[in-house]
A and B are shown apart, each in its own frame.
Chain A
Amino acid sequence: MSVLETRDVSIRFGGVQANRDVSIAIGQGEIVGVIGPNGAGKTTLFNMITGFYKPDTGRIIYRGRDITRLPVHARAALGLGRTFQNVGLVKGTTVRENLVTAQYLQADYRTISGMFGSRGSVASERRLRQKADALAEVLGLTELLDTQVAGLPYGTLKRVEIATVLATDPDVLLLDEPSSGMGPEEAHQLGDSLLELRNMFKLSIAMIEHHVPLVVRVCDYLYCLDFGQLLTHGRPNEVRNHPQVVAAYLGEDPDPLAVALEAQLNALVETE
């Protein structure tokens, strides 16, 4: 049984059918890639999976449970973690604060008792900070714990974001272009990191990616979207040589309206 799947999800914005009948599945411990040209509807799909959009039709199933109607924070509580194209962090504070904030669901004291400085809350806070420090070490961020997020270089931000999403104690990770802005060596490193993290934290991962070598090396399965629909899917080596996939990437120009619309909508999701 898959950990997470979408069944024929479709969504329409104004005049554009952003996704049509898309069905993907992520198995336990798998790393699944979602590829396709810009404007193909990949981030929109992730937004539906995580709860920022409600699909017009179709369902989203997590471990056999229909979560299509659940709000975003409830899906996070179930174990869906997600990164954003524009880097989803609280930029006005430090790395450590982000890591601690992300552990919101693991702070096992009542908010009120925290306000009055109860012993339980103090102890719980200490545990949260310890976990934050441990996570930072795993991703080589220990020296940056007290640095403001706002000034950090882009590549580092991506690592902080991964540490932060890991802090939410996820079961399934949805990564939106984790290697964007990285050169080939860094991307290779990222691939290694993802494999190790998958094993260390028992994760199942879905990632939107453009970096073909990374995807081929790391993913167990690929889904290719184009114009909001599933073009093909299969093992990486089959898919990358599929003639339509090659054409989609190299041939036609992506629909500019769809690209612009998707970018705008997804930017709204991330910056609000």
Chain B
Amino acid sequence: MSVVAPDRAVAPVAPAASQPFRPSLAGWLARGLAWAALACLVLILPLGRPGTDLRLYAIAACYAIVALSLNVLLGYVGQISLGHAAFVGIGAFTSAYLVTVQGQSFWVGVLAATAIGAGQALVLGGVSLRIRGLYFALITLSYGLVAEQNIFQIQEFTGGGAGQSAPKPAWFESEWRYYYLCLAFLALVLFVDWRMMRTKGGRALLALRENPRVASTFGINVRLATLFAFGVSGAFAGMAGALIAHGDESVSADVWNFRLSLFFVTMTVVGGLRSRVGLVIGGSFFALLPYLIEKIPGFEDLLARVPGPVDLTPEYATLIIGPLLLLINLIRFPGGIGQQTRPLQRWMTGHRFDPHDRGLKEVQITDVRA
């Protein structure tokens, strides 16, 4: 029952496929092998590594959660937090404090960290939404400094110079078990993020990011929806903080600074906004970067040969490479890693391998002028 006469219906822009693409038997086998290899890489191979490496992999999984958290702000809503180190750090200290000083269980600690993360984001977001523009960036920048210079100076909370201890929970005391635990949390966050974007909450965010006026004619309360996203982002960040704290088994105040906040932003953007695969890769890659760099033979000597008054150590090099990658990404490769891996992604989920499918229609950073 069409109001428009059939001959008036416009022909579709793309030629309609007669049948959806189905891989051949060999294709299925290849895909199965790829999935198995991936599972092996993530689940099995790490078990052969020493405990210190496993701890690192666990932290990498947590960094992936942080990237997903920042993505909710930057990728879905179009806001930015320049103080995310504060959200994560406060989550870390909250859990450490509750477990060590207050004798609570790990699960209470994580829950509290998640709740407090959400709470901070909601309060700060609520203030910043009163005026149109990117004031959340300013507020979080200032808040990050407050966390650094005030909150983390509270001795009872942060344990002073020695930091606060944060023991691993029962059943997960060994490094490999904790690694699996972090993977489980990462899977949970991925699931929640995926479901959110497939339901009305996520659709509201995407609509209001591109066109808030039209979104409100759909009945979406733009301010409330934005606040909701802030809450989700803060919750993920707090959760990641708690997991990091117990992964390292101690938290100290001096790492949670502006540089770390920008680091988080870098790994999110380089990973690829709105691409879960890219974000996980970006987060874990950047977490592992300092250690990967050590493994490159001759890298240090190469750096030392760079002219300058002071030797270019790997530390200084990573300090410089980070923002450089960020800028290159923003200007030249807006889709990040996620955009580059998209053909592979599509292939692994049963579609044809199309090297030109960059998912550009999804990852348009140059959207409507905000």
| CB interface residues, A 184-200, toward B, < 8 Å | 189, 192-193, 196-197, 200
**In this complex, what residue of B is CB-closest to A150?**
B361
Chain A CB within 8 A of B210 CB = yes
Assess whether B196 is in contact with A114, with CB atoms less than 8 Å apart: yes
Chain A nearest CB, measured from B143 CB (Å): 26
Q: Determine whether the beta carbon of A82 is less than 8 Å from that of B217.
A: yes
The CA of A88 and the CA of B212, in the complex, are separated in Å by: 10
A143 close to B203 (CB less than 8 A): no
- Check A92/B195 contact, CB under 8 A, given A102-B218, A111-B228: no
> Are B200 and A114 in contact, CB atoms less than 8 angstroms apart?
yes
A115 touches B199 (CB 8 A): yes
- CB contacts (< 8 Å) of B219 on chain A: these are 73, 76-77, 104-105, 168
Residue B104, interface by CB 8 Å: no
A144 on the B face (CB < 8 A): yes
- Assuming the contacts A93-B206, A111-B200, A116-B195, asked whether A73 and B216 have C-beta atoms less than 8 A apart, the reply is yes
Judge if A62 is at the interface, Cβ distance under 8 Å: no
Q: Tell me, rounded to whole Å, the shortest Cβ–Cβ distance linking A64 to chain B.
A: 21
Residue A143 contacts which of B16, B191, B232 (CB distance < 8 angstroms)? B16
List CB contacts (< 8 Å) of B1-47 with chain A. Answer: 1-6, 8-14, 16
Say whether A138 contacts B1, CB under 8 Å. yes
Asked if A255 is an interface residue, CB under 8 A from chain B, the answer is no
A269 at the A/B interface (Cβ < 8 Å)? yes
Q: Is A225 an interface residue (CB 8 A)?
A: no
Contacts of A151 in B (CB 8 A): 13
A156: which B residues are within 8 A, CB to CB? Answer: 10
A152 is an interface residue with CB less than 8 A from chain B: yes
Closest to A141 in B: B9
- B interface bracket (residues with beta carbon within 8 Å of A): 35 or more
- Whether the pair B10, A153 counts as a contact (CB closer than 8 A) is yes
Q: Which residue of B lies closest to A148 (CB)?
A: B361
A50 CB contacts on chain B under 8 angstroms = 217
| Residues 195-226 of chain B, each 1 if its beta carbon lies under 8 Å from chain A, else 0 | 11011110110110011111111111110000
Instruction: Flag whether B315 is at the interface (Cβ < 8 A).
Output: no
Chain A residues with Cβ under 8 A from B192's Cβ? 115-116
Instruction: Give the contacting residue for A200; candidates B3, B9, B222, B369; CB below 8 A.
Output: B3
Q: Which of B214-269 contact A (CB under 8 A)?
A: 214-222, 228, 232
Contact assessment for B8 and A189 in the assembled complex, using a CB-CB cutoff below 8 Å: yes
Structural contact, A104 and B3, CB atoms closer than 8 A: no
**Inter-chain contact B367/A115, CB cutoff 8 Å:** no
- Interface members, chain A 82-122 (any B CB < 8 Å): 82, 84, 88-93, 97, 100-102, 104-105, 107, 109, 111, 114-117, 121
CB distance from A35 to the nearest CB of B (A): 23
Residues of B within 8 Å of A101, CB to CB, are 200, 203-204, 206-207, 215, 218
Closest B residue to A90 by CB, please name it.
B207
Determine whether the beta carbon of B10 is less than 8 Å from that of A73. Answer: no
In the complex, chain B residues whose CB is within 8 Å of the CB of A196? 3
Residues in A lying within 8 Å of B, measured CB to CB = 50-52, 71-73, 76-77, 81-82, 84, 88-93, 97, 100-102, 104-105, 107, 109, 111, 114-117, 121, 125, 137-141, 143-144, 147-148, 150-153, 155-156, 159, 165, 168, 189, 192-193, 196-197, 200, 269-272
27 A-B pairs with CB atoms under 8 Å apart are A50-B217, A71-B216, A72-B213, A72-B217, A73-B219, A73-B220, A88-B213, A88-B217, A89-B214, A90-B207, A91-B211, A92-B206, A92-B362, A100-B203, A101-B200, A101-B204, A101-B207, A101-B215, A101-B218, A104-B219, A105-B219, A114-B195, A115-B196, A117-B195, A192-B3, A196-B3, A271-B211
9 interchain residue pairs of minimum CB distance:
A114-B199, A140-B4, A140-B9, A111-B201, A105-B219, A72-B216, A88-B214, A107-B200, A76-B219
